[in-house]
A and B are shown apart, each in its own frame.
Chain A
């Protein structure tokens, strides 16, 4: 296996791969829950608006940077913003890699529950809380975490065309078909229509509540994969003839289409089985967290679905297969991002994959064995993603936003012309959104724990964010010259 540059063989192969990044567990288990907690239709309107002023512009930017530089995050940001800012690329890459460590654990949970559904034991279980607790208290999460990492590493080992492209050509359409099957079952339940009406009914008084707008922006920041550096990495393998802006629009709109489909499935199922009282579970009950909704609340609903236990197991299996597929297709992009950074530093692809696979397993162990560690990592690096988005936008500002738009976004292969609105969004709106989001989330964390918000070892505190970000940033800034030098030495030689 050499480091020979591969390219996606077609436009649709590339689009499906990028949709594979964007569509993850966040679309299926976070979006419906956040909609329920933010008054349904009131949330949807800002959520649609932020797709166009956060997700799509950042996806355009990432594709453009990857296609122009043909380097991973460190080399790419060094080339666009200047070598002094290579540490920003290292931070973007590290955040996505740190998320990979615990995201492989999530993928493992999905695989475990797929197995439980497939064997039928999920519908014979009386107490789903106890089932979840006994699963997470033992060693099993570690086994399934290893399994998820092995699957991801295997796909990446096959290469860009035979691995990433070919597998996403199977996984993404399969995910859509499975979600459509679940949607057909859900909307044909008695009372399902009430759920759909609930989903789209706005509370006009809350439409102008700033918290709903911030939650809508957060959802776009977390579930489209924009600003993570993952799309930038896949864009390295884009042929010169390929378009940027239209492909970005297809990706962003497809991602949010899947989120809407997932919300229709969840709300129709809840109202069809549990009635309006079920929504309270999403707002304040066991379903009010991502884990509670996916692994406790929805399995409970599947056991009450009309039909025999075989039918119930079937739909539960389809649901967890969808979650597993969504998780794996996103996980492989995180592995590829880290692999690409090491390849840029001169490692052979095979060595880089072995290294990332081993590190991914080892650093995922704490999250696999402790939910407290898992929540901590999810909090710290989830918020850090917004900094990543800010760094990507900063790089383009340093390069010159208008020059970037004219030379790269509207450059060779462009199918649609991107006007000056892009300059305004990247230079002003994205930095503004990043600042507001970070301040709001960090301030909110001080309200969750007014006495211990400063604690660097707290699970979800302001202190732990500043502590962990500070360490990583200090290391990357201190070693900027060495990191950038090593990356550019090898990537320049390759060119």
Chain B
């Protein structure tokens, strides 16, 4: 696999799939923390 292909694959999958996983985990953590502080 050429380096340009590898770069594009890592760039795209990293930002889109990696970013998606990151924001979902962050949302889960914030939700848990919100629930813990709710009366």
How many whole Å from A206's CB to the nearest CB in chain B?
Answer: 12
Contact of B19 among A45, A197, A253 (CB under 8 A): A253
B5–A197 touching, CB < 8 Å: yes
Instruction: Write out the residue numbers on chain B whose beta carbons fall within 8 Å of the beta carbon of A15.
Output: 27
Residues of A within 8 A of B13 (CB): 260
- From A11, A204, A260, B12 is in contact (CB under 8 Å) with A260
Interface size of B as a range:
20 to 34
What residues of B have a CB within 8 angstroms of the CB of A44 in the complex?
A: 8, 11-12
Report yes or no: A201 in contact with B4, Cβ–Cβ below 8 A. yes
- In the bound complex, CA of A179 to CA of B25 (Å): 22
**Does residue A274 face the partner (Cβ distance < 8 Å to B)?**
no
Chain A 324-340 against B: per-residue CB contact (8 Å), 1 yes, 0 no?
Answer: 00000000000000000
What separation, in Å, do the CA atoms of A44 and B12 have in the docked complex? 7
> For residue A247, which residues in chain B have a CB less than 8 angstroms away from its CB?
27
Contact A41 B30 (CB under 8 A): no
In the complex, the answer to whether B30 meets A246 with C-beta atoms within 8 Å is yes
Q: Is A116 an interface residue (CB 8 A)?
A: no
A478 contacts chain B at the CB level, 8 A cutoff:
no
Bound-state CA distance A200–B27 (Å) is: 29
Nearest CB on A from B38, distance (A): 8
Whole-angstrom CA separation of A140 from B9 in the bound complex: 42
Asked if A250 CB lies within 8 Å of chain B CBs, one says yes
A253 contacts across to B, CB distance below 8 A: 16, 19-20, 23
Which residues of the partner chain B approach A256 to less than 8 Å between Cβ atoms?
Answer: 16, 20
In the complex with contacts A41-B8, A241-B34, A246-B16 CB distance below 8 A: no
Decide yes or no whether A120 CB sits under 8 A from chain B: no
CB atoms of B30 and A243 under 8 A apart: yes
Chain A residues contacting B6 (CB-CB under 8 Å) are: 200
| Residue pair A45, B8 in contact (C-beta under 8 Å) | yes
Residue of A nearest to B20 (CB): A253
Can you list 5 A-B pairs, Cβ within 8 angstroms, ordered by A? A41-B9, A254-B20, A260-B16, A260-B17, A416-B26
Q: Interface of B with A (CB < 8 Å)?
A: 1-2, 4-6, 8-9, 11-13, 15-17, 19-20, 23-24, 26-27, 30-31, 34, 38
> Lowest 3 CB-CB distances: which A-B pairs, in order?
A41-B8, A253-B20, A415-B30
Measured CB to CB, the residues of A under 8 A from B are: 11, 15, 41, 44-45, 48, 51, 197, 200-202, 204, 241, 243, 246-247, 249-250, 253-254, 256-257, 260, 415-416
